[in-house]
């Protein structure tokens, strides 16, 4: 009897250790993706590459397929970096999310600052979409055809595209029609952030997609970026994802990371594990959610610290490539074993105490305003309610400063 138990324990241990993110995802019929770029593929950091290959089965180019990288001058295409990503993925049997065709950010100035009529900008969009998608026809499974087109209330974000066309419908239609024509087999997505809870932005997305689909525009999927914050994953995350999925027919979590104030505490790590499970499980529970892409591997290469001052630690591996509790959180989200329920309960209580303390420290009673580019408001926000510069506007239930931050960082 004793021998049998030891054997069983050994078997269990080997099963658990053999599990990877991609095997856990596949067991639920989902994919799990990460990001890469030539610097990761060919650079000296081999660990990034090894983990990408061992743990993930889908990949997005972090920057190489953005408009400024791929068509830096009008009709002048620069393929090397995007080709490197596509070839690497194909050689390693990874599927690809193409990111992204039409976006106001990382947009070359010849597009952003051109003086366009509807007709000339239509030609520019069609040429960009057709040329990029045709080159990778049959090689890229999903495309983010348009990215971040909404403002926080669900209206049109101001961009060269929305200004020239006087709203969203026309240029989104042009982009999606060009995309379908270029590669009829690719899944075509509309992608955005702050779709993590019910509210104006998610409603705006649902309404636009339903309206355009009713008019025959070939939108297949809504991508929810899911740049989340530890301890603040909304109770409506799952139902909101479900409504996105229903509106488009398919959905995906496209850029998941869950950031914290750094250094992250041990209770923060534990809460982050729970939050990763919540986010991943929301996709697993929807038959038409395609999969989950995590926006990176290691905290040392995450975009978060450069953009959100004082925040980071958002990914499943720490800066030295040790697996964090978040890793088990993702496995658990995909229905694998996590086995730390008791510990999570205890640390959740600790986290809530810590959060109360933070509120007292950061509260606005002493006139302690959010820094320029800092966050001021958002889902579950308990920090300052005043902002030190015009770029930061307090709005409860919204995260206001994200777009401005990305713009500043990329110029
Ligand atoms: C980020 C990249 O990770 C950074 O390397 C780059 O400097 C800026 O863009 N939403 C998106 C992604 O759609 O393309 C962004 O990626 C993160 C926010």
Question: What are 122-176's pLDDT values in tens digits?
Answer: 999 999 999 999 999 999 999 999 999 999 999 999 999 999 999 999 999 999 9
CB of 225 closer than 6 angstroms to any ligand 1 atom: yes
DSSP classification of residue 323: B
CB of 62 closer than 6 angstroms to any ligand 1 atom: yes
Catalytic residue among 62, 152, 255, 311: 255
CA angle 269–275–280, rounded 5-degree value: 130
Q: Which domain holds residue 211?
A: 18-344
- Per-residue model confidence (pLDDT) at position 378: 52
- Per-residue model confidence (pLDDT) at position 355: 33
**Given pLDDT bands bounded at 50, 70 and 90, which one contains residue 337?**
confident
Asked if residue 345 lies in contact with residue 326, where contact means CB atoms within 8 angstroms, the answer is no
Whether pTM exceeds 0.85: no
- Is 401 within the bounds of a domain? no
Which ligand 1 atom sits closest to the C-alpha of 148? Answer: 13
Helix residue ranges per DSSP H, 160-235: 160-165, 169-182, 200-214
Q: How far is 230 from 274, CA to CA, in rounded Å?
A: 9
- CA-nearest residue for atom 15, ligand 1, is 62
- Is 386 within the bounds of a domain? no
> Distance from the CA of 192 to the center of ligand 1, in angstroms?
12
- Is 218 within the bounds of a domain? yes
Instruction: Report, as an integer, the average pLDDT of 207-219.
Output: 98
The DSSP element (H or E) to which 147 belongs, if any, is strand 142-147
Number of domains into which the chain is organized: 1
CATH number at residue 34: 3.20.20.80
- Is 10 within the bounds of a domain? no
Residue 157 token pair? 């974000």
Mention every residue, 6+ apart, whose C-beta is less than 8 A from residue 141.
58, 95, 96, 97, 186, 187
- Per-residue model confidence (pLDDT) at position 74: 98
Mention every residue, 6+ apart, whose C-beta is less than 8 A from residue 133.
98, 101, 140, 143, 178, 179, 182, 183, 186
- Per-residue model confidence (pLDDT) at position 369: 53
- Is 133 within the bounds of a domain? yes
- Where residue 189 falls (left for φ over 0; alpha for ψ -120 to 50; beta otherwise) is beta
**pLDDT value at 354 more than 80:** no
**Given pLDDT bands bounded at 50, 70 and 90, which one contains residue 350?**
very low
- Is 58 within the bounds of a domain? yes
> Distance from the CA of 30 to the center of ligand 1, in angstroms?
23
Asked if residue 291 lies in contact with residue 31, where contact means CB atoms within 8 angstroms, the answer is yes
Selection from 177, 250, 222, 232 nearest residue 398 by Cα? 232
> Distance from the CA of 295 to the center of ligand 1, in angstroms?
9
In the residue annotation, 148 being an active-site residue is answered as yes
Catalytic residue among 55, 62, 71, 148: 148
> Distance from the CA of 321 to the center of ligand 1, in angstroms?
21
- Is 6 within the bounds of a domain? no
- Is 12 within the bounds of a domain? no
Residue 188, classed as helix, strand or coil, is strand
Which ligand 1 atom sits closest to the C-alpha of 295? Answer: 3
Choice between 17 and 296, residue whose per-residue pLDDT is larger: 296
């Amino acid at each position: 009897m004793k021998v049998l138990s030891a054997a069983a324990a050994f078997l269990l241990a080997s099963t658990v250790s053999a599990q990877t993110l991609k095997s856990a995802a596949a067991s639920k019929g989902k994919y799990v993706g990460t990001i890469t770029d030539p610097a990761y593929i060919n650079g000296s950091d081999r660990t990034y590459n090894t983990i990408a290959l061992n743990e993930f089965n889908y990949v997005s180019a972090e920057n190489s397929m953005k408009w400024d990288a791929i068509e830096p001058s009008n009709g002048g295409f620069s393929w090397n970096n995007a080709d490197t990503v596509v070839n690497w993925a194909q050689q390693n049997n990874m599927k690809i999310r193409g990111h992204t065709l039409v976006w106001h950010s990382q947009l070359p100035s010849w597009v952003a600052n051109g003086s366009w009529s509807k007709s000339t900008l239509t030609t520019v969009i069609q040429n960009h979409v057709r040329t990029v998608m045709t080159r990778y026809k049959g090689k890229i499974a999903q495309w983010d055809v348009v990215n971040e087109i909404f403002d926080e209330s669900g209206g049109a974000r101001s961009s060269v595209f929305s200004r020239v066309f006087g709203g969203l419908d026309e240029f989104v239609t042009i982009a999606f029609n060009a995309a379908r024509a270029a590669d009829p087999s690719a899944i075509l997505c509309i992608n955005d952030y702050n779709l993590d809870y019910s509210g104006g932005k998610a409603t705006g997305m649902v309404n636009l997609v339903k309206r355009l689909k009713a008019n025959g525009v070939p939108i297949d999927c809504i991508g929810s970026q899911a740049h989340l914050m530890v301890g603040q994953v909304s109770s409506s995350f799952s139902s909101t994802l479900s409504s996105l999925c229903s509106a488009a027919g398919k959905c995906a979590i496209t850029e998941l990371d869950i950031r914290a104030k750094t250094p992250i505490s041990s209770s923060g790590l534990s809460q982050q594990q729970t939050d990763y499970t919540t986010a991943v499980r929301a996709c697993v529970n929807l038959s038409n959610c395609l999969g989950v892409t995590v926006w990176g591997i290691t905290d040392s290469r995450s975009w978060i610290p450069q953009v959100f001052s004082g925040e980071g630690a958002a990914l499943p591996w720490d800066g030295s490539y040790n697996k964090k509790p978040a890793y088990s959180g993702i496995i658990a989200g995909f229905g694998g074993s996590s086995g730390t329920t008791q510990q999570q309960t205890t640390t959740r209580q600790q986290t809530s105490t810590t959060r109360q303390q933070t509120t007292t420290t950061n509260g606005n009673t002493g006139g302690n305003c959010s820094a320029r580019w800092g966050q001021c408001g958002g889902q579950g926000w308990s920090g300052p309610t005043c902002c030190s510069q015009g770029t930061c506007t307090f709005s409860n239930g919204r995260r206001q400063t994200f777009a401005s931050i990305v713009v500043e960082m990329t110029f």
